[in-house]
A and B are shown apart, each in its own frame.
Chain A
Amino acid sequence: AQTVTQSQPEMSVQEAETVTLSCTYDTSESDYYLFWYKQPPSRQMILVIRQEAYKQQNATENRFSVNFQKAAKSFSLKISDSQLGDAAMYFCAYRSTWIQGAQKLVFGQGTRLTINP
């Protein structure tokens, strides 16, 4: 079974600085999806960024980018120019491409990010 680990329960960063959230995962599959979700105080789950494992290029969405290291099974999220609105819980998640595994996301424990003004 796949597992996802976020080893940083909490992180903090100064506004306008850059922060990196770590995520590692374990799988025997060669093709899969990885995601970062943001959960603000409203509790809504918001997709931040996705990465397809067969794509070498790291995904980027505006100030958010990932460092995907497939061999190391690492998937970190970098937030540049941090803003107060980035304060939230961030979850790393894995989804299989196989039919039997594609029906669920496997989540990490979450990292609570605080932005200091």
Chain B
Amino acid sequence: EAQVTQNPRYLITVTGKKLTVTCSQNMNHEYMSWYRQDPGLGLRQIYYSMNVEVTDKGDVPEGYKVSRKEKRNFPLILESPSPNQTSLYFCASSTRTGDEQYFGPGTRLTVT
């Protein structure tokens, strides 16, 4: 089954404790992205990758890091989480020329 998986689905952590949210897709997609969803703001892109070892900032990259060492994986790293990073996070993937993005199930992160 074609899908994007994220782990964990829920995470509660404390300020400053490094964490990683994993994302994996099995569709051989070139493009992968991370979005965060906040009430009243919709979804906003954090980082994206157009292929292995090619990543760039989206609209709200501060406080986040990413890497793309393999085509299928695109982890999101919060090296020193803060309460303003409490949010719902989505990973998405797509082909380079396709119009549809495929979303993971979301990760609910709470930073206290």
Q: Which residues of A contact B (CB under 8 A)?
A: 4, 6, 9, 33, 35, 42-45, 47, 50, 52, 91, 93, 95, 102-105, 107-110
Contact = CB atoms under 8 A, between A and B. Distances in A.
B58 interface: yes
B103 A104 contact: no
The number of chain B residues touching the other chain, given as a range, is 20 to 34
Contacts of A104: 33, 45, 48, 58-59
Interface stretch (B16-24, B66-74, B76-84, B94-102): B94-102
Interface in B49-65: 50, 58-59
Contact of B99 (A42, A45, A95, A110): A95
Contacts, number: 53
B14 interface: no
A91 B42 contact: yes
A110 B42 contact: yes
Nearest to A39: B37
B50 to A, nearest CB: 6
A45 B90 contact: yes
A108 B41 CA distance: 7
B66 to A, nearest CB: 13
Contact of B48 (A47, A103, A110): A103
A107 B44 contact: yes
Most chain A C-beta atoms within 10 Å of own C-beta, residue among B41, B43, B50, B58: B43
A93 B42 CA distance: 10
A107 B42 CA distance: 6
24 contacts: A4-B42, A35-B100, A42-B105, A43-B88, A43-B105, A43-B108, A44-B105, A44-B106, A45-B103, A50-B99, A52-B99, A91-B43, A95-B101, A102-B31, A102-B97, A103-B31, A103-B33, A103-B50, A104-B45, A105-B35, A107-B43, A109-B40, A109-B42, A110-B40
